[in-house]
């Protein structure tokens, strides 16, 4: 075996190891929607491997897993029946953990829902995240004690991919969507998948890029 062949084999092993450990990127490649050059640059930077052409070649040869064709077909069926909805001027309020926080939120959450305004309450391990329209931020924070509000992040947009009910029996869709956004360098502030909706909260500056890549993915 020549030195060139050994080097190529080493790059291929490094790339395979990287993709095995980053399923989001691997799925984007498997589904043919990843930008090989962009993915190769990212891998090159993270691995300290300058041979981007060899990395691209290794990405193209990355094997499909067992049953991958079946899963890909199911994901594509769901995507063809999905649609994208957007909402601008969204805010995420991060609150402390505690029963008192939820009690204080009760009235304002009920009011917002009655008004058909955006209001999502998500409990996480260290507290609660409330997603509302920017104009509703003050209404929420006024119901709380100062120390209970850990932070408010504004100038966000919400992208919701609404799919048929078959999404609940179709593995891989969330992984695919997060992968295509990540491949474009788009930071996902929050992600939520419930019933037929896959929801992403992004910085408003990423809206056009996210819409472009998601629209292409759903086509």
Tell me the CA distances in angstroms from 203 to 88, 122, 138, 211, one per residue in order: 10, 19, 20, 13
Percent of the chain with pLDDT over 70: 92
Write a three-state SS string for 121-188: EEEECCEEEEEEEHHHHHHHHCCCCHHHEEEEEEEEEEEEEECCHHHHHCCCHHHHHHHHHHHCCCCE
Tell me the CA distances in angstroms from 82 to 117, 131, 210, one per residue in order: 23, 23, 16
> Per-residue pLDDT tens for 119-178?
999 988 889 999 999 999 999 999 998 899 999 999 999 999 998 888 787 777 888 888
> Per-residue pLDDT tens for 86-127?
999 999 999 998 888 889 999 999 999 999 999 999 988 889
Whether 155 contacts 88, CB under 8 Å: no
Q: Please say if the pLDDT value at position 12 is more than 90.
A: no
Residue 206: the pLDDT is 95
Among 3.30.70.260, 1.10.1370.40, 2.60.120.460, 3.90.260.10, what is the CATH number of 72-84+158-218?
3.30.70.260
What average pLDDT is seen over the chain? Answer: 86
Residue 110: the pLDDT is 94
Q: Please say if the pLDDT value at position 195 is more than 60.
A: yes
CATH homologous superfamily of 90-154 equals ACT domain (3.30.70.260)
Q: How far apart are CA 81 and CA 189, in angstroms?
A: 26
Predicted TM-score of the model (pTM): 0.67
Mean pLDDT, residues 16-25 taken together? 82
Tokens of 192: 């939520």
Locate tokens 């490094």: which residue?
A: 14
65, 70, 75, 76: CA torsion to nearest 10: 110
> Per-residue pLDDT tens for 61-71?
887 654 455 56
The larger pLDDT score, comparing residue 76 to residue 65, is at: 76
Residue 198: the pLDDT is 92
Q: How far apart are CA 97 and CA 76, in angstroms?
A: 39
Residue 4: the pLDDT is 46
């Amino acid at each position: 075996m020549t030195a060139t062949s050994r080097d190529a084999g080493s790059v291929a092993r490094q790339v395979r190891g990287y993709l095995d450990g980053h399923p989001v990127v691997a799925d984007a490649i498997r589904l043919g929607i990843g930008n090989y050059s962009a993915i190769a640059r990212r891998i090159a930077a993270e691995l300290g491997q300058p041979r981007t052409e060899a990395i691209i070649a290794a990405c193209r040869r990355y094997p499909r897993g067992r049953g991958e064709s079946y899963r890909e077909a199911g994901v594509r069926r769901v995507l063809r029946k999905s649609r994208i909805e957007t909402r601008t001027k969204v805010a995420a309020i991060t609150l402390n953990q505690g029963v008192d926080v939820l009690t204080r939120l009760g009235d304002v959450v009920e009011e917002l829902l009655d008004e058909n305004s955006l209001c999502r309450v998500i409990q996480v391990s260290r507290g609660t995240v409330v997603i509302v329209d920017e104009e509703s931020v003050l209404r929420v924070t006024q119901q709380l004690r100062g120390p209970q509000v850990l932070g408010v992040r504004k100038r966000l947009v919400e992208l919701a991919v609404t799919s048929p009910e078959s999404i609940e029996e179709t593995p891989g869709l969330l992984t695919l969507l997060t992968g295509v956004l990540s491949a474009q360098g788009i930071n996902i502030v929050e992600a939520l998948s419930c019933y037929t909706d896959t929801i992403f909260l992004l910085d408003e500056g990423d809206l056009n890029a996210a819409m472009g890549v998601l629209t292409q993915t759903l086509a």
